[in-house]
Amino acid sequence: MKILFYDAVNYDKESFDKELQNYEGIEITYQEIDISPKTVSLAAGYDAICAFVNSDLSAPVIDRLHEIGISLILLRCAGFNNVDLKKTEEYGMTVLRVPGYSPEAVAELAMTLALSVNRHLHKSYIRVRENNFSLVGLTGINFYQKTAGIVGTGKIGAAMCRICRGFGMRVIAYDMYPNKELDFVEYMSLEDVLKQSDLLSLHCPLTGETRHLINKDTIAMMKDDVVLVNTSRGGLVKTEDLIQGIRSKKFFGVGLDVYEEEGDNVFENREDELLEHSVTARLLSFPNVIVTSHQGFLTREALAAISRTTLQNALDYEQGTIDRVNLVEP
C-alpha cells in the first residue's frame, strides 16, 4: 500500500519510520505541505492519504480524492471534525482515525496549562531570566480542596479527573454518558458544573451541539476567578465572548491549547508576521492567558501510539478486518 503523508514534520517522520519496520508492504511518501484543493492532486497514484487534525478535508478536496481513486483516508489524530463525512459516505470512502493514543498526554497538558496560568509561570520564567526576582503579581490559588469541573469524561476527560483527584480536588463533571469507572466523580448538569467549578476543563468533542458551549451566557454562570482550560477544540469556546469575559475580570486565568482561529497558525512559524487583526493577537495581549499551539498530543508515547495505530489501520483496511472503533462514520 502506497500512502501519501501530508503535512509531515520531523517528529512524524521519526516515529512513523521507526514503526514502519514492523509493517511490511506499506510505503510512505512524506510531503511537507498539507492537503488542500491545490495540493490534493499530488495523491494521484497512491492508495491512501494520511492527514492530520487541521488538514482541509472539505467537500472540494474529497471530490478530488474520489476522482483520483483514493478510497482510504488515514487520520493520524482522534478528532475528525475537519472531514466532510457526508461526502466520504457518498463516495463509500473509508476514514480511519486513532481514537485513544494517549489520553494522559492531553490531560497532562491540560493540567500543565492550569498550573502555569494559575502560578503565572509564563511571567516568572521571563522575569528571572532578566534578573528580576520580584514576586509582585505572581500570587496564585491552591487547587487543593477546590472544585475541578470536567466537561466530557471520555478517555481524556477521565484522565483529567484522575489527575485532579490526585491534587486533592473535589471532581465534578458533565457528560450525557457518565463514566462508571469514575466512582469518585460527582456527575451533575452542565449548569451546575459551570456554577461550582474553580477549575473548568473542556474535554468533549466539537459537534453542532457543543459549538460555542462557552459563550457569554455560560460564562456568566461561572464562578468569579475560575481557571478555564481548553485542550479539546477551539470551536467549543466563542472567542469574542471569552475576550469580553477576560476583560471583565471573570477569569483568574485561561489556558488554551486550541482556539477558533488556530487553523492558519497551528504548527506554522509566523514569527515575522504582524497579526494585526487576529483574535490570537488579542488573546495573547492578556497577562492571564496562556496559548499553546495544539501540542496536547505531543509526547513520545503518544507519537509512537499514533504511528502504530495508523499503520495498523492501513493494514486492517487492506486485509478487510477494520476495527470499527477506529472507523469514522457520519
Binding mask 99-138 for ligand NAI (x = CB under 6 A): -x--x--x--------------------------------
Which grid coordinates belong to 92?
Answer: 463509500
CB of 142 to ligand NAI, least distance (A): 26
Neighbours of 280 (CB within 10 A): 19
Residue with cell 494520511: 50
User: Which one of 151, 169, 246, 266 is in contact with ligand NAI (CB under 6 A)?
Assistant: 151
CB of 137 to ligand NAI, least distance (A): 29
What element of type H or E holds 172?
Answer: strand 170-174
Contacts (Cβ under 8 Å, ≥6 apart) of 253:
114, 117, 118, 227, 228, 288, 289, 290
Residue with cell 496559548: 291
Is residue 294 part of the contact set for ligand NAI (CB under 6 A)?
yes
Catalytic residues, by residue number, are 233, 262, 294
User: Which one of 78, 93, 96, 228 is in contact with ligand NAI (CB under 6 A)?
Assistant: 78
Q: Which long-range contacts (CB under 8 A, 24 or more apart) does 89-96 make?
A: 89/329, 89/330, 91/62, 91/66, 93/62, 93/65, 93/66, 94/317, 94/322, 94/327, 95/327, 95/328, 96/72, 96/310, 96/313, 96/314, 96/316, 96/317, 96/322, 96/326, 96/327, 96/328
Size of the residue set binding ligand NAI (CB under 6 A): 30
The rounded distance, in Å, linking the Cα atoms of 38 and 52 is: 17
CB of 7 to ligand NAI, least distance (A): 15
Is residue 154 part of the contact set for ligand NAI (CB under 6 A)?
yes
User: Which one of 82, 147, 197, 232 is in contact with ligand NAI (CB under 6 A)?
Assistant: 232
Is residue 97 part of the contact set for ligand NAI (CB under 6 A)?
no
Is residue 201 part of the contact set for ligand NAI (CB under 6 A)?
no
Residue 193 or 311: the one with the smaller Cβ distance to ligand NAI is 193
CB of 320 to ligand NAI, least distance (A): 26
What element of type H or E holds 279?
Answer: helix 279-284
Q: Which phi and psi (to 5°) does residue 304 adopt?
A: -65, -45
User: Which one of 112, 143, 296, 305 is in contact with ligand NAI (CB under 6 A)?
Assistant: 296
Which grid coordinates belong to 323?
Answer: 476495527
Q: Which stretch binds ligand NAI (CB under 6 A): 16-24, 54-62, 147-155, 241-249?
A: 147-155
User: Which one of 32, 209, 224, 271 is in contact with ligand NAI (CB under 6 A)?
Assistant: 209
CB of 328 to ligand NAI, least distance (A): 12
3-state secondary structure of 326: coil
Can you give the binding site for ligand NAI, defined by CB under 6 A? 78-79, 100, 103, 106, 151-157, 174-177, 203-206, 209-210, 231-233, 257-258, 294, 296-297
